[in-house]
Amino acid sequence: MARTLRIPSDLGAAQQAEDELLEEVARYGYTEASTFAIKLAVEEALNNAIKHGNGFDGSKKVELTFDVSDERAVVSVTDQGEGFVPDRLPDPTADENLEKPTGRGVMLMRAYMDDVRFNDKGNQVQLTKKNS
């Protein structure tokens, strides 16, 4: 059954929400590799939602929804920001971007999760990881 947590735009609150998700993942016996992938991708998604989406605005919320089963975990993170176009992100592996400290979160999500989808507005990401 899906669960939704609405948290303030605060990194501490994001950590608590992530911990709740990871407890659910552990309950279903996910492998260490799958658990690490979920942790990394969700941490990036929450940080991006708080920092870039909501601009650390304490009046805005982030919604973390997760549905974990024996087969897969589906997690979505939604912020109240204006959104963005994921395909327009600069390639963080390009020479001119290697020393820039930003732009790697979406790349990491795509590398570690089985499926990554953004809504049309660009203020929600859905992450799917199979239990393997």
Q: What is the CATH number of the domain that holds 43?
A: 3.30.565.10
pLDDT digits over 48-96, tens only? 999 999 999 999 999 999 999 999 999 999 999 999 888 787 777 777 7
> 74 with 66: CB under 8 angstroms?
yes
pLDDT in tens, 91-109: 777 777 777 766 788 999 9
Number of domains in the chain: 1
74 lies in which domain range?
3-130
- Kindly give, in sequence order, each residue whose CB lies less than 8 Å from that of residue 41, ignoring residues fewer than 6 positions away: 75, 108, 109, 112, 113, 116, 127, 129
